[in-house]
Structure 1
Amino acid sequence: MRNSYSVAKRYSDALINLLSENKKLNELDTYISNLQNIISEMNENQVFYDLINSPLLPDDLITKKIVEKANTEDEVFKKFLNFIVIKKRQNLLPLVSKLLINFSYELKNIVLVDLISAKELEESTIDTIKNNLKSKTGRNVNLDLTIDESLIGGIQIYLDDKLFDYSVKGYLNSVKEIYAVNGGD
């Protein structure tokens, strides 16, 4: 996974540089949308997935099929996809897309936060959490709220690959770990 991430990071950085050189960085969201079209087709259509990952088919045919699903005629995007196909890295497209989305959020000064709660939160509570996170990060907050009753109570916040656990379940687990380390003393 670590190796895949670093390779996908190089491809996403290459596309960003390519867009920057061609003065198309403002179209990044369009490129992300095109990638999402391809990824959706990969996930929903096994025949398409097998076709684009076939070692027996010529690269230009695979690139053509991928470009068809992207719904674009953009030459920069076609070159990028062709390079991905030549290097046999089609399996990295979902990760490349995720990295591009993160970069797009950075450009827009947005931070993506996953908030997991044991129960439905009131709008005023959500606004308070958003405002606190905005003051801590200095960026606008895009909040993704999920309900998980197994937390018993409280919340968990995922921010920039970090977990801030303020749940009853998290507290009980930490007490359990301390108790286990000390042998019950």
Structure 2
Amino acid sequence: MVEFEYAKAVFDLAKENNKVSVFTECFNAVCETLEPNFLEIMSSPFVNKDEKKKIIDKVYHSLDLVFIHFLYVLIDHNRFDRIRVIAKEYETLVLQDNNVLRVKIISANELKKAQLQDLKKSLSIKYPGKTIEIENKINPNLIGGVQIITDEKSLDASVKGTLDRIRESL
């Protein structure tokens, strides 16, 4: 995936310059300001690349200069429209570098603090050395149980998922 290659390159650059958190803030600032009209202009083949860079300079003048040059690279290679995906890949690289594992737990009802702690404890055993961050999402369509989703894999321990697997095996 091309987006990963850009994210990896900018992440390596950020690490080399000790600016990982600065670039994270820059990505956040850019992604927060992206509106459809702006993206359309920045992706348009009818707008000169130098004009696009001038727009970047005006809109993002307060961002880190090295990061702005990264935005220029995206413009030069007609990839500015992929900035959100690149930002997401960058965030994943930062989490991996910091040994953080984000886990989404989907349940029919909000889990109690003790249940989340138990899940966190179990995940800490399965993923030693990782800091576990849990996000509990509610899906009222689940009959019971939970779905556990990490970057690495997904485990469907919901009643609905179990019933679906039984139905498929019949």
Q: TM-score, normalized by length of structure 1?
A: 0.84
2:15 pairs with 1:20 = yes
Query: Shift of the alpha carbon at 1:75?
Result: 2.1
Counterpart-to-counterpart distance in 2, 1:115 and 1:67: 41
Give, as a single letter, the amino acid of the residue that structure 1 aligns with 2:41: L
> What is the aligned-residue identity percentage?
26
Query: Shift of the alpha carbon at 1:20?
Result: 3.3
Where in structure 2 are there 5+ consecutive unaligned residues? none
SS for the counterpart of 2:13 is helix
Where in structure 1 are there 5+ consecutive unaligned residues? 1-5, 180-185
SS for the counterpart of 2:110 is coil
Match of 2:65 among 75, 78, 94: 75
Which residue is 1:170 aligned to?
A: 161
| More helix per residue | 1
CA RMSD in angstroms, aligned pairs only: 1.6
Between 1:82-91 and 1:65-74, the stretch displaced more is 65-74
Higher RCO, 1 vs 2 (CA within 8 Å, ≥6 residues apart):
2
SS for the counterpart of 1:115 is strand
> Does the Cα contact within 8 Å between 1:117 and 1:148 map onto a contact in 2?
yes
Deviations 1:17-66 (A, max 9, x none): 22233x22xx2222122222222222xx2221221112122213213323
Counterpart-to-counterpart distance in 2, 1:46 and 1:20: 31
Which residue is 1:153 aligned to?
A: 144
Deviations 1:84-135 (A, max 9, x none): 1000001211111111111111122110111001112110010110111112
Give, as a single letter, the amino acid of the residue that structure 1 aligns with 2:112: E
> Does the Cα contact within 8 Å between 1:34 and 1:71 map onto a contact in 2?
no
Counterpart-to-counterpart distance in 2, 1:71 and 1:127: 44
Match of 1:133 among 117, 123, 126: 123
Q: TM-score, normalized by length of structure 2?
A: 0.91
SS for the counterpart of 1:149 is coil
Between 1:131-140 and 1:58-67, the stretch displaced more is 58-67
Give the total of aligned pairs. Answer: 169
